[in-house]
Structure 1
Amino acid sequence: MKILVVGAGATGGYFGALLARSGQDITFLVRPRRAAELGQRGLRVVGRGEEWSVAPRLVTADALDTTYDLVLLSVKSTALEQAMEDVAPAVGPDTVIVPLLNGLAHIDALNARFGAARVLGGVAKVVTTLDEHGDIVRLAPIAHLTIGEQDGTPTARVEKVRSVLAEAGIDALVPADVLTSMWHKWVFITTFGAVTSLMRGTVGEVNAVPGGAELGPAVLAEAAAVAEAAGRPVPQAERDLTLGIVTATGSPMVPSLYRDLVAGRPTEVEHLFGDLVARARALAVPTPLLDLATLHLRVHQARVTAPTAP
């Protein structure tokens, strides 16, 4: 299978590195700056007792001139429009696109651009980040992908993708309804993001102060209510897992959205929060805490994306 990974950041880079290490026919579509960085150091994975690298095959958008069997799309939602433009030459009649973004709005965008028949649902669960050298740092043991047809139909192509991922040592799951799995990840990531971003602290810092331990359950209740109203109720076991993460005493954990926020970078506020609270309004579900988190992130977004005065 001929594979193109769009983006070599913390998520796409990690899973792509595993595919490359296993000998798969894989190429990374990257920006010129990232291409230069990877050309010098290779694609390196460190942390949690790991330290290994691969010499990745790289291509930039101006040199992309062939189609691929599988496209793993792993970019921030803020880069989605440009990524779709860049990757278009790689998408042929039989190409399968697996997006690894959080939220759901990107599915509509990809369906409109490439046709729903080419787009699978996808969920990535991995805790990684890029360090100052551009190396991928593993922060926690979890690392698996969930894939499936948008309508939940079992198909040979999904099984083929799952098999290729499994050959690379990637735990790949095929649920009965991947869109429901995407909703559940969305509930988790907005809960995690709201708690840390509103309070500007790690999970442990939030829960160490009076009243802090009450925030996570309250935000989760709102996000889960939206999912339930949308026909995607979150099972109690998943709620308990999320609660365990956002109420953990002494935990240093923060999501990538928080790291972008405190570093003064743009965030995925509209894709993750704006879309969720808009759906909540349409479903008549009150979400005061999620509304507040959305407003907080929008103010930050306006500040960091404002034009620089001449």
Structure 2
Amino acid sequence: MKILVLGAGGLGGYFGGRLAQAGADVTFLVRKHRQELLAAHGLRIRSKFGDYSGPVKTALEHEVAGTPWDVIILSCKAYDLDSAIETIRPAVGAKTAVLPLLNGVRHLQHLNDVFGKTHVLGGLAKIVSMVDAEGIVHHLNDWCAITFGEQDGRISERVTRLQALFPADSVKASAVPDIQQKMWEKFVHLATVAGIASLMRASVGEIARVPGGTELLIHFLESNAAVAKAEGHPIPESFLKEYRDLFHDQQLPYVPSLLRDVERHNRCEGDHILGHMLALVNKHHMEPTLHELIHMNLQTYEVRRQAGRF
């Protein structure tokens, strides 16, 4: 199985690196600077599930056409989706499956429109990771899950083969028949945590230490779950309970990637996650005040960032 991973950052670097570590045929589609770093030092992962350092295959954009790629893993930010599509377009062949690991759910239809539904898998990752200035991938918590599946619910040969390639000791890989439901569950969780954490500029544990903080997180979680239900994806009570319990943990250091981007003054996925959730709130005529406040807060951040006012 020939696998192309777009990017070798925190997400693509971790999961692609673990595939390479297990002996899979993996190539990283990267820019010139990242290619030079990987050539000089190999791909380096630091994780409680075991460190890894080793050489990996890389390619630049003009080098991927004509290869019969079985799977292309997209690990880009949601706001880079259009450019990512153009980058991988020459690499998508008659039997290629595109596996996006982007946040949110809106991107799936866009990819279907471009490549055709049979070429696009649903997917999500549950991990906190980052790449530092030296190109080292740091895995920052206990989460190391990647979940994917066919949009029509089949457990196909290609998803079964892909699941088997991931090393079980460092990746929890799951091929599932209900991938869109799983994506909605993550969307609800991520919109909740990213929304409140970015509004408060604090970790989940820090918010929980403030009177009313836990209650605010739970209220926003249930509001987002109501949106999912209205869209035909009711969130299981067991899933909601897990996060209600989590939101009581005053020592939890969980900082979502959106807040980490804000704290580094980088572009963030506010519109793609919270903007989309707000649009759905309005579509279903639900109470929009908190969603509007959070979205406006992130829009204002982007105005300041683009003006260089930090």
Give the distance between the partners of 2:186 and 2:75, measured in 1 at CA.
16
Matches within 5 A, 1:92-131: 92-131=93-132
Residue range with higher mean Cα deviation, 277-286 or 86-95:
277-286
Code of the residue aligned with 2:72 in structure 1: it is V
Residue range with higher mean Cα deviation, 35-44 or 3-12:
35-44
CA contact (8 A) 2:21 2:52 kept: no
Shift of 1:178: 0.7
Provide closer, same or farther for how the CA distance between residues 49 and 64 of structure 1 changes in structure 2, counting only shifts above 3 A. Answer: closer
Give the distance between the partners of 1:156 and 1:64, measured in 2 at CA.
24
The 3-state SS of whatever aligns with 1:11 is helix
In structure 2, what is the equivalent of residue 19 of structure 1? 19
Shift of 1:20: 0.5
Shift of 1:174: 2.6
The 3-state SS of whatever aligns with 1:298 is helix
Does 1:303 find its partner at 2:304? Answer: yes
The 3-state SS of whatever aligns with 1:94 is coil
- Give me the TM-score of the superposition, normalised by structure 2: 0.93
CA contact (8 A) 1:277 1:287 kept: yes
Shift of 1:112: 1.3
Does 1:264 find its partner at 2:252? Answer: no
In structure 2, what is the equivalent of residue 50 of structure 1? 50
CA offset digits 1:257-293 (Å, max 9, x no partner): 1000111111011211111111221122224222211
Code of the residue aligned with 2:299 in structure 1: it is R
In structure 2, what is the equivalent of residue 234 of structure 1? 235
Shift of 1:147: 1.0
Paired residues in the alignment total 308
> What percentage of residue pairs aligned between the two structures are identical?
37
In structure 2, what is the equivalent of residue 62 of structure 1? 62
Give the distance between the partners of 1:183 and 1:118, measured in 2 at CA.
20
Give the distance between the partners of 2:215 and 2:279, measured in 1 at CA.
25
Does 1:33 find its partner at 2:33? Answer: yes
Give the distance between the partners of 1:23 and 1:111, measured in 2 at CA.
31
CA contact (8 A) 2:145 2:172 kept: yes
Matches within 5 A, 1:1-310: 1-48=1-48, 50-67=50-67, 68-165=69-166, 170-306=171-307
The 3-state SS of whatever aligns with 1:5 is strand
Q: CA RMSD in A?
A: 1.9
Give the distance between the partners of 1:26 and 1:15, measured in 2 at CA.
10
Shift of 1:90: 0.9
- Give me the TM-score of the superposition, normalised by structure 1: 0.93
CA offset digits 1:131-190 (Å, max 9, x no partner): 332211111122111111112133222222222335796322233311010000000111
Give the distance between the partners of 2:308 and 2:92, measured in 1 at CA.
34
The 3-state SS of whatever aligns with 1:92 is coil
Code of the residue aligned with 2:208 in structure 1: it is N
Shift of 1:227: 0.5
Could you list the runs of 5+ residues in structure 1 that have no partner in the other structure? none
Give the distance between the partners of 2:165 and 2:289, measured in 1 at CA.
43
